[in-house]
Chain A
């Protein structure tokens, strides 16, 4: 059998069904790997070894007795430390909440428990899902397994780093301006920001109420679909939750994409913000791959990227200010400098600014809705650059706004990040697919077809052991 730590959730389920593997055996293997490897990566803020092993033993008994709950039964998953797990700390990676213990599970945690998933710990993030790497943080910031000197993206930095390093097959992240798709992109993973309202935010500390999404990061599209199956669905306790019932989001993964229409939003990375040439070349190649798989690819235009991003940013800053104003007044020294500087912007916005942004938002939603009326999915850049060094403060500051992710937080459409190549320096490149609202089935179908045709998802970071990066691609 492949090294246990590189098994996907899909493979784990098959191994359990064939009695070739047990939840306890797998959980112990992952806990050992975390203990051995995470000192270098810092992806976990806390590991709940006892809780994970208890859950693994319970899953083992149920599965042995033939009471399998579903595809995630006995499958480990790690959780961004902004999502409540009852009895465990939710620190948001901030001194402000360093002593905070959750009293109840977030809705998505309850759904994962019901599916039989094993919660193995809480993952590092940018402070309050907004700051950035800083030595002032209460725990060390996460590093990119592809190159430990490089940024793992953010804000779900631990989620990306842990899955890419083989410390967990699955992770949950949150995404307000790209915080699932950024780490998924620079860590070589699949990461989904679902449609706004499809996954409950109850029990998730807010960054910006109307932009926040919860979603999965995994090593394959199939695993993203399995996780979404578990966490999607209406929640009356989340005011933004949509009146939808869960479904099998991976039902069309094997169907192929012959006849589907793909709108390639080239201007985002060719003229609006000029991407690194390797990113642009990989996007062109992705368009060719989708055509070879039978899709019709044509160029399509949306409003200028900077314009959409500025509207998203205005709403983000105003809503985040509402969340943090009290603490900024009372204990500003408990924030790190990057977070404080960003959050303070909200104090200088006016009611007119915010309403103007919300008026623009209506137009932007209409523009994307109109675009996906003529095509089935959009193909766009994810980030405009491969990852950069953590100690290069100027490069870090430059890459954050060089992205095409935040438009779809503004509009709420589902967006999937996928690995699209390796840079000459050995760092992952990534693309983004965007679907119609609540049509994750088609979005994941296209992602799976791309994945089968390219096999980038088979690559592993070469830093530790185990798998020679390029050889593994097959």
Chain B
């Protein structure tokens, strides 16, 4: 559910997809590739800002110490 402004994917989605090895997708389903890039841009835009130095989840736990 988005109530923010539509975000635009800043790069060429088909070129990025080819770089990711998705040549067959680009060939067969270019509309799906473009739609996915757009959706990813929207998801990125909705992600809240956070202190870049904050510890991500999950904290590292070394197994052999247990």
Question: Could you give, for residues 3-33 of chain B, a 1 whenever the CB lies within 8 Å of some chain A CB and a 0 otherwise?
Answer: 1000001000100110011111100110011
- Chain A, 290-345, CB within 8 A of any chain B CB: 305-307, 309-311, 313-314, 317, 325, 328-333, 337, 340-345
Give the docked Cα–Cα distance between A328 and B20 (Å): 10
Contact A359 B43 (CB under 8 A): no
Tally of chain B residues near chain A (CB < 8 A): 36
Closest Cβ of chain A to B42, distance in Å, is 9
A344-B32 contact given A310-B47, A356-B50, CB 8 Å threshold: yes
Q: Which A residues are in CB contact (< 8 Å) with B46?
A: 306-307, 310
> In this assembly, does A392 line the interface, its C-beta being within 8 Å of a C-beta of chain B?
no
> In this assembly, does A281 line the interface, its C-beta being within 8 Å of a C-beta of chain B?
no
Q: Which B residues are in CB contact (< 8 Å) with A345?
A: 36-37, 39-40, 43
> In this assembly, does A362 line the interface, its C-beta being within 8 Å of a C-beta of chain B?
yes
Contact A310 B43 (CB under 8 A): yes
Contact A348 B40 (CB under 8 A): yes
Contact A306 B1 (CB under 8 A): yes
Q: Which A residues are in CB contact (< 8 Å) with B23?
A: 329
Tally of chain A residues near chain B (CB < 8 A): 42
Contact B33 A344 (CB under 8 A): yes
- Chain B, 39-61, CB within 8 A of any chain A CB: 39-41, 43-44, 46-48, 50-52, 54-58
Give the docked Cα–Cα distance between A332 and B31 (Å): 13
Contact A360 B36 (CB under 8 A): no
Give the docked Cα–Cα distance between A349 and B11 (Å): 12
> In this assembly, does A7 line the interface, its C-beta being within 8 Å of a C-beta of chain B?
no
Could you say which of A317, A333, A348, A362 contacts B16, with CB atoms under 8 Å apart? A348
Closest Cβ of chain B to A265, distance in Å, is 16
Contact A341 B47 (CB under 8 A): no
Q: Which B residues are in CB contact (< 8 Å) with A15?
A: none
Contact B54 A362 (CB under 8 A): yes
A358-B56 contact given A329-B24, A332-B28, CB 8 Å threshold: yes
A306-B57 contact given A313-B43, A337-B32, A341-B35, CB 8 Å threshold: no
Contact A349 B54 (CB under 8 A): no
Q: Which B residues are in CB contact (< 8 Å) with A330?
A: 24
Could you show 5 A-B contacts with beta carbons less than 8 Å apart?
A: A314-B47, A332-B25, A342-B36, A356-B52, A363-B50
Binding site for A on B (CB under 8 A): 1-3, 9, 13, 16-17, 20-25, 28-29, 32-33, 35-37, 39-41, 43-44, 46-48, 50-52, 54-58
Binding site for B on A (CB under 8 A): 210, 273, 305-307, 309-311, 313-314, 317, 325, 328-333, 337, 340-349, 353, 355-363, 365, 401-402
